[in-house]
Amino acid sequence: MSRAGALSPTDDFFVCDFFGAAPKHDLASMEHPLFSLSTRPDRRILNYTHNDVEVTVTPSVRGRATIFDADILIFCISQLMAALNAGRPTARTLTLTAHDLLLATRRETSGDSYRRLRQAFERLAGTRITTNIRTGDTEVTSGFGLIESWEIVRKTRKGRMVSVSVTLSEWLYRAVLS
């Protein structure tokens, strides 16, 4: 980190990776691709069934979250892991500096990059997972987004994002705490 506390392009923010944060017993989420590898909007509804566990990934009209959008989740998870490792309190909602997020995920910091960051938040919030993961002898079917919500907290006069607030899904937050 630089002296001012901002991330530089050479800083390594990967404290953990997204798939490593999933609980080991949650095999359903690890064996099915949640993210699109395509840069074009993937609007297909994907259904997977294995050992009586069903997973459905439903994209929004903007498409399924991409593997590039996963960088944002990895950054959020790394921030949570750093707080946990330091003994600081954590919460599902994180307030991030948009510029640092762009640098840490190796993205440009041009005006267009801020627009693409907003689109990534929309895909992450819009990609819905529905599953019937069993706990003991009880089957619970639930649906959730990769992130619950996002909010542009502040803009400068030029319209650039200065900071954003991201609320992770309860599922993802529990996976990180595990």
With CA atoms as reference, report the closest residue to 148 among 163, 126, 115, 119.
126
Percent of the chain with pLDDT over 70: 76
How much is the mean pLDDT over the chain?
79
For 79-108, write each residue's pLDDT tens digit: 999 999 999 999 999 998 888 888 888 888
Q: Comparing 99 with 45, which gets the higher pLDDT?
A: 45
d(CA 36, CA 43): 10
Q: Comparing 171 with 121, which gets the higher pLDDT?
A: 121
pLDDT of residue 139: 79
CB-based contacts of 170-175 (< 8 A; 24+ apart in sequence): 170/92, 170/144, 171/129, 171/142, 171/144, 172/21, 172/73, 172/77, 172/146, 172/147, 173/80, 173/92, 174/23, 175/21, 175/22, 175/23, 175/26, 175/29
pLDDT of residue 135: 60
d(CA 34, CA 70): 10
pLDDT of residue 137: 73
